[in-house]
């Protein structure tokens, strides 16, 4: 595996984790949004990722190294989760329905923050992998120049 392949693998991880952070931020931003119709309540989303080739097993890893294809991670989908919602009686809210109720998405900000911290740590790990690969390449160039 050459250095560029290692950079590409880490880059795919960065893209996936950035996508996860964007979706979590969207969920948190909409956690207090209100509507007057329960069918229009914001539905939280989740990012699903997987290996670029679909299935990578330990026995096929040597093949991936040999061909340097299908390495890294892809965002497979961003899906809306089955939306539970909170029905709150707020008759003075301008978005209340005729019975005085507003509807909010049932999003747990604490679990969203845990998801964001996980994405952040994975993002940082990919940055460290890029830095380590860069250091290895620089060291190889330094040794070769002697």
Average pLDDT, the chain: 88
What pLDDT sits at residue 143? 85
Evaluate whether residue 44 is within a structural domain.
no
Evaluate whether residue 67 is within a structural domain.
no
- Top pLDDT among 50 and 124 is at 124
Evaluate whether residue 129 is within a structural domain.
yes
Evaluate whether residue 125 is within a structural domain.
yes
Q: What own/partner pairs with CB < 8 Å and gap ≥ 24 does 111-115 have?
A: 112/24, 112/27, 112/28, 112/31, 113/28, 115/20, 115/24
Evaluate whether residue 25 is within a structural domain.
yes
Domain of 137 in residue numbering reads as 3-31+107-144
Evaluate whether residue 55 is within a structural domain.
no
Please tell me the total count of domains within the chain. Answer: 1
What pLDDT sits at residue 25? 97
Strand partners for 28? none
Evaluate whether residue 91 is within a structural domain.
no
Average pLDDT on 62-91 reads: 82
pLDDT digits (tens, 9 = 90+) for 7-26: 999 999 999 999 999 999 99
Evaluate whether residue 99 is within a structural domain.
no
> From CA 129, how far away is CA 119, in angstroms rounded?
15
What pLDDT sits at residue 80? 93
> From CA 32, how far away is CA 103, in angstroms rounded?
9
pTM above 0.75, yes or no: yes
Helix axes 109-144, 3-29, angle to 10 degrees: 160
């Amino acid at each position: 595996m050459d250095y560029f392949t290692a950079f590409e693998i880490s880059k795919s991880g960065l893209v996936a984790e950035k996508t996860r952070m964007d979706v979590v931020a969207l969920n948190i931003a909409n956690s207090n949004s209100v509507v007057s119709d329960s069918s229009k309540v914001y539905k939280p989303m989740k990012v699903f990722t997987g290996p670029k080739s679909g299935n990578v097993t330990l026995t096929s890893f040597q093949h991936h190294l040999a061909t340097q294809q299908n390495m890294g991670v892809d965002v497979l989908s961003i899906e809306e989760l089955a939306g539970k919602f909170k029905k709150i009686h707020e008759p003075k809210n301008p978005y209340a329905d005729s019975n005085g109720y507003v509807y909010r998405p049932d999003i747990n900000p604490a679990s969203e923050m845990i998801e964001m911290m996980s994405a952040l740590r994975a993002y940082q790990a990919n940055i460290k992998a890029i830095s380590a690969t860069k250091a290895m390449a620089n060291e190889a160039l330094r040794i070769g120049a002697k």
